[in-house]
Structure 1
Amino acid sequence: MSVERYETKEGRKYRAVFEFLGQRYKRRGFRTQKDANSWIAEERKSLEAEEKRAKVLHLSTFVKQYLEAEAERLDQRTIHYKSAHIQALYDFLGVDRPVEGITRETALAFQKHFLKTHPPVTLNRYVRDLKTLWNWHTTNTGLVSSNPFKIPRLPEAQYIPYIPPKEDIDKVLSVATGWGKDFLLLMLATAARRNEIRKLTWADVDFEQKLIRLKTKKRQGGGEEWDNLPMNATAESVLKRRYAERKHPEAVFPAKIKLRSKSIFVGEQSTRSMLVHFCQEAGVKPFSFHPLRHYVASILRDKHNASLFEIQHVLRHKKPGTTALYLDTLKSPVEKPLNSLADEFAAFV
């Protein structure tokens, strides 16, 4: 550190020079030596504070490392949902807080705060993704050793999705036309997820072996997996019609226009709009795509007496417990024995 005097037309001036972490800092034009020394002290203090801040792990860096790493493994929609849930923590904190200052008490206060405006099921998802964020760092970076979001789940009301009745499904199929009708028929004939049909390619279709390869990331770990599904008569008819009328060399359901994302597949919004339109045309209560898998499960169980094992493999669930949750939302299997009990005592009613 040095303060040097020099002469100018206006008189005597001082320049200040010092080094910090190998970098040289200087400034000239001070009227007094005291002013120059004060500048050095203040500038060094500011640089030391910035250096200290850089060594402290802040939430923004913590989150960025996680999302960038997971972007290679998870699809864009999942990353979007996780980012939105993590953003809720930023909104609550109000500042980019050091990670070491986010404690279990912080997590509980976050939970209590958002419970005023969010249902428990939504808040549990926020906490789940924040817990995953900390767990990822514990396993992959070692930057943290404890997880403040390991807090009790809030009790949730059981979610019962709306499963359209057969009459409504039939009405929608009756008014459906074009690619939309083929899309719905293929979903129903395969019990596939919407995105599995949306991203189906001709390379996934084997007419000779009568197989359809469905790809999904809806598995633990998020990696893409695929299953070969037997092609039944309905699926074969739809796919042969699509192939005869194909407008794209790869996509079974191609995008109508070139999207900004350059995706070759029909967009999610287009499929949503298509189903909303068909429901309106049919005059039925609107439903979404996912309940169609529940509907197929109900047909397999109630009409075709399929076992839990068979339904599990049609839906391609890894665990039978997941399939059991689907069936719990449908007509209860105890309905028949309960009706038989009613017959026993009907004479006394």
Structure 2
Amino acid sequence: MSVYSVKAKGWRYDFTLNGTRHTRGWFKTKGAARKAENERREEIVNPAPPPIQSETIQTDMAFLDLVNRRLDHVRAYNSVTHYRDIKYHGRRWVSHWKGLIVGEITTEMIELFLKGRLEVSAHVANKELQYLRALFNFGIKKRFINNNPTAGIEFFPIERRKKYIPPKDDVLKAISSGDPEAQQYLWTIILTAARVGEINALTWDDVDFDRKLVTLWTRKRKGGNREPREVPMIQRLYDILRYRFHTRKDDLPWVFWHTYWSRKVGQWVKGPYGERKSLMKALCKASGVRYFRFHALRHLTASMLDDLGVPIGVIQRILGHQNRRTTEIYLHTIGEADREAMAKLEATQLLQGDLTSLSEGPTNKHLAFWHRKVTKRPQYNVLMREVEQLGYKGTGRKYGVSDNAIRKWIRAYESSPKVIQ
């Protein structure tokens, strides 16, 4: 049935001609929808000649088709992990808006969907919005659609938490609890500051023993370009990789690989690792330390380099960041430079005095206590110590008088040497 009605909306036509679907709504009457359908069929059968140097631009398409086009693009231009992430979200979107045309999806519908995801967490809802916005922007860029219903929708506020970076002792405990292969794997991550995906994809062609360089490849670039960066090998990393090269049993290209059951081919195959999520859980549990992920090792290496005084530009190149601000996020631990700075503050004259007079004073008293009328002046040595620590104004506020009054007290003491003694 090419013409049908939808309750509370009106009539629309929907037909397929030459393998292409054509639909439009909402008409007030069935006759108006039928007339518009006939006009559209006539336009398709007898199209008007296109204007010179013009392009035919598609203005709408099925939502399912847009998601599939987006997945094809991500598969070609981005990493496998990103493709898997988009596919995971895409299944939820298609299930939610199954059978709809992109133009039928409104801003209100997306806001309602995001509120449902907000019940999980604000981070989850913001991730959905980020990927949905990219989906519709992709459609506009490719001229499949001409409107982005996520425009104007703001991200939900989130409570940012300090990312946990394990202490060096905990890292060593976790590493020592693993088998030799796991230990070599973790040390390679630490000594290259690499992403776990970069180590999983590392091949022997990327290891240059003569120049002591490791080439890491990433697709985390605009446009999905796969780009390399070289990281120098220190002696410990050189020994690990040299040992693995000489003791490898199979002529496989990967530095780290495993044997796993492939559901695609229905047999056991050898290939590179995927994510290895269970490895860190098992090692942390066995060593009795707080759980941390592989990415924390990358943060740890960056922070250690920062503590050693390595310039941030060098750390940025080692981490493979294009933006300096991204590198600064990794340098969030309290290092030796921060401790040295606070130690210099502690050594100042302000903090060298005796604080017994302050500790003996009342705490959390009502404001009127500090504005009370002074009936007894402090001794000269106490007064001078407080002036040195708090200043004239601070001492005056403590005793409820002006700073000039404090100066008069001092002059009075100094005019009577016997009182000072």
TM-score by length of 2: 0.66
Q: Does 1:101 align with 2:104?
A: yes
Pairing of 1:197-216 with structure 2 (within 5 A):
197-216=199-218
In structure 2, the CA distance between the partners of 1:44 and 1:290, relative to structure 1 (3 Å rule), is: closer
Q: Does 1:54 align with 2:21?
A: yes
Is contact 1:279-1:285 (8 Å) kept? Answer: yes
RMSD: 2.4
Aligned AA for 2:295? H
Is contact 1:251-1:264 (8 Å) kept? Answer: no
Is contact 1:205-1:213 (8 Å) kept? Answer: yes
In 1, the alpha carbon distance for the partners of 2:261 and 2:93 equals: 36
Give the C-alpha shift of residue 260 in structure 1: 4.1
Query: Paired residue for 1:290, among 292, 295, 304?
Result: 295
More relative contact order, 1 or 2 (CA 8 Å, 6+ apart): 1
Give the C-alpha shift of residue 49 in structure 1: 4.0
Give the C-alpha shift of residue 85 in structure 1: 2.3
In 1, the alpha carbon distance for the partners of 2:192 and 2:14 equals: 61
- Secondary structure at the counterpart of residue 290 of structure 1: helix
Count how many residue pairs are aligned between Structure 1 and Structure 2: 300
1:247 equivalent in structure 2: 249
Give the C-alpha shift of residue 171 in structure 1: 1.3
Deviations 1:296-317 (A, max 9, x none): 1111112x11121121111111
2:320 equivalent in structure 1: 316
In 2, the alpha carbon distance for the partners of 1:163 and 1:96 equals: 46
1:36 equivalent in structure 2: none
Is contact 1:186-1:234 (8 Å) kept? Answer: no
TM-score by length of 1: 0.78
Query: Paired residue for 1:280, among 282, 285, 296?
Result: 285
Is contact 1:205-1:212 (8 Å) kept? Answer: yes
Pairing of 1:234-273 with structure 2 (within 5 A):
234-249=236-251, 250-257=253-260, 259-260=262-263, 264-268=270-274, 271-273=276-278
Pairing of 1:42-191 with structure 2 (within 5 A):
49-51=14-16, 54-56=21-23, 57-93=61-97, 95-115=98-118, 117-140=119-142, 142-150=143-151, 151-191=153-193
In structure 2, the CA distance between the partners of 1:143 and 1:238, relative to structure 1 (3 Å rule), is: same
In 2, the alpha carbon distance for the partners of 1:280 and 1:104 equals: 46
Is contact 1:59-1:96 (8 Å) kept? Answer: yes
In 1, the alpha carbon distance for the partners of 2:99 and 2:210 equals: 58
- Secondary structure at the counterpart of residue 144 of structure 2: coil
Give the C-alpha shift of residue 279 in structure 1: 1.8
In 1, the alpha carbon distance for the partners of 2:331 and 2:305 equals: 10
Structure 2: gaps spanning 5 or more residues: 5-12, 24-60, 356-421
Aligned AA for 2:148? N
Aligned AA for 2:353? A
In structure 2, the CA distance between the partners of 1:159 and 1:84, relative to structure 1 (3 Å rule), is: farther
In 1, the alpha carbon distance for the partners of 2:321 and 2:132 equals: 26
In structure 2, the CA distance between the partners of 1:54 and 1:275, relative to structure 1 (3 Å rule), is: same
Give the C-alpha shift of residue 277 in structure 1: 2.3
Structure 1: gaps spanning 5 or more residues: 1-42
In structure 2, the CA distance between the partners of 1:44 and 1:297, relative to structure 1 (3 Å rule), is: closer
Deviates more, 1:238-247 or 1:54-63: 54-63
In 1, the alpha carbon distance for the partners of 2:3 and 2:192 equals: 67
